Amino acid sequence: MKQTRKPTLFEALLPIIFLIIILVLSLMIFHVDPQIPLLLATAFTSILGVYRLGHKWSDLEDGIIDTIKIAIQAILILLIVGSLIGTWILGGVVPSMIYWGLNILSPKIFLVATLLICSIVSIATGSSWTTAGTVGIALLGIGQTLGIPLPVVAGAIISGAYFGDKMSPLSDTTNLAPAMAGATLFEHIKHMIFTTAPAYLISIILYAILGFKYAGQSLDTAQIDIIKTTLSSSFHTLSPILLLAPISVITMVILKIPALPALLTGTLFGGVLAMIFQGANLGDVMNAMHYGFESHTGVVAVDELLTRGGLNSMLWTVSLVICALSFGGVLEKTGILETIATQILQFAKGTFGLVFATIITCIFTNILTGDQYLAIVMPGRMYKDEYEKRNLAAKNLSRAIEDSATVTSPLIPWTTCGSYMLATLGVNPISFLPFAFFNLLCPVISLILAATGWTMEKRHTNS
């Protein structure tokens, strides 16, 4: 029987190099999605594992399945979140949040208002891309008329959009990070408040200071008025009473009800509100849960904002997660992740060193692979055992991942997120990077907490 052995550092780096090359070719030259490149990298790593390191294919397959099993709950939550978004748009919940959010726009605090509006929309939709591509574009146009430099406005848009991407239970990254680290969704979100709240408050102050010089300008809100008018005419009511749906989910979180039943209840509540307030029937609700909501107002910004949701809408993300986890499973089973992590952890002394290693690995994975999901999956799998060995709760790892992988992804021009923001906003990420205060502050505050030890909770039976 052939003996298995641990890979050398060179052998461990080969699959990473292969993945980087094939992702660059696929994303930048052939313009195809990353799922197939990930599967090809999985095949390459499997061949290395079988013929070079002495593993059986059946063992590698078990590694893939075991890794995917860990994320099954997150996958189920993603599917339910898709249904929830569908019923919340059909029921007028998301449109109400956007409508009332747009009412806070003011020329005196334009940059702060931009941050707040994008935060509300991204929390409501769970999507930074949708936020930037809809209200973000409208706010960019208003900022331009005020004479505010576009990189500054784009920085505020990105900060608000990624606040929701990081904190909303409807966001795929918010679900994926705790799944990789071994934490639960809601404990992960609550733990992130300790880094997110200071970063957000400091960002508000910085945008307020920046905005003082533009306070005297007149505000042309024509684009925003069109969006508000279209929203109010497309739904029977946009009453604040519709906010009972998100309030109910928040209440269940406080009562420590698990994520799956809490989100499913929120989904059904959205359907009930749709039937009571928007004149929908049961068939409409079920269709929205499965296929999402389709908006046909004729106003492009509104249609792009509201045409989303549904279980089907999450299948692309689920397929990407499964492909990334397959790659991660083989890396883990062959000992490749262990070899790389061991080399890095030689320099990671104490809690600060471990969090620093996590954050740097996430950022470099974003830079090297250009993929936000891989920047969450790979470091999550690499450092999970080390956090356990050091008696640190899994939510510390998931928070460090979100404080780096999620928020830095739009700041790098060649990542999927960065290239999307460049195409959508027309501003190079390098230009708006200095003004994306929230995104820059999150990893810094995460490191400060790690250095002081504050909120770095120890493991217990529920972690």
> Rounded mean pLDDT of 430-434?
95
Per-residue pLDDT reduced to its tens digit, 231-255: 999 999 898 899 898 888 878 877 8
Separation CA 358–CA 347 (nearest Å): 12
pLDDT grade for 142, boundaries at 50, 70 and 90: confident
Per-residue pLDDT reduced to its tens digit, 361-375: 999 888 877 778 889
Going by C-beta distance under 8 Å and a sequence separation of 6 or more, which residues neighbour residue 463? 182, 183, 187, 393, 394, 395, 457
Single-letter residue type at 6: K
Query: Is the pLDDT assigned to residue 437 strictly greater than 90?
Result: yes
pLDDT for res 199 = 98
| Contact by Cβ (8 Å): 102, 121 | no
Separation CA 202–CA 384 (nearest Å): 31
Per-residue pLDDT reduced to its tens digit, 72-114: 887 888 888 889 889 999 999 888 888 887 777 776 788 999 9
> Rounded mean pLDDT of 221-229?
84
pLDDT for res 1 = 53
* Dihedral sign of CA atoms 307, 165, 92, 269 in order: positive
> Rounded mean pLDDT of 329-338?
90
> Rounded mean pLDDT of 427-434?
94
Single-letter residue type at 404: S
pLDDT for res 320 = 82
Average pLDDT, the chain: 89
pLDDT for res 219 = 66
CA dihedral 344, 350, 354, 357 (to 10 degrees): -50
Backbone angles phi, psi at 308, to 5 degrees: -170, 180
High-pLDDT (> 70) share of the chain, %: 97
Separation CA 214–CA 156 (nearest Å): 15
Query: Is the pLDDT assigned to residue 193 strictly greater than 60?
Result: yes
Going by C-beta distance under 8 Å and a sequence separation of 6 or more, which residues neighbour residue 417? 128, 129, 372, 409, 410
Separation CA 114–CA 143 (nearest Å): 9
pLDDT for res 218 = 67
Query: Is the pLDDT assigned to residue 48 strictly greater than 50?
Result: yes
Per-residue pLDDT reduced to its tens digit, 105-138: 776 788 999 999 999 989 988 889 888 887 888 7
Burial class (CB in 10 A: 0-12, 13-18, 19+), 320: buried
pLDDT grade for 462, boundaries at 50, 70 and 90: very low
Among residues 385, 356, 432, 397, the alpha carbon closest in space to that of 132 is found at 432
pLDDT grade for 390, boundaries at 50, 70 and 90: very high
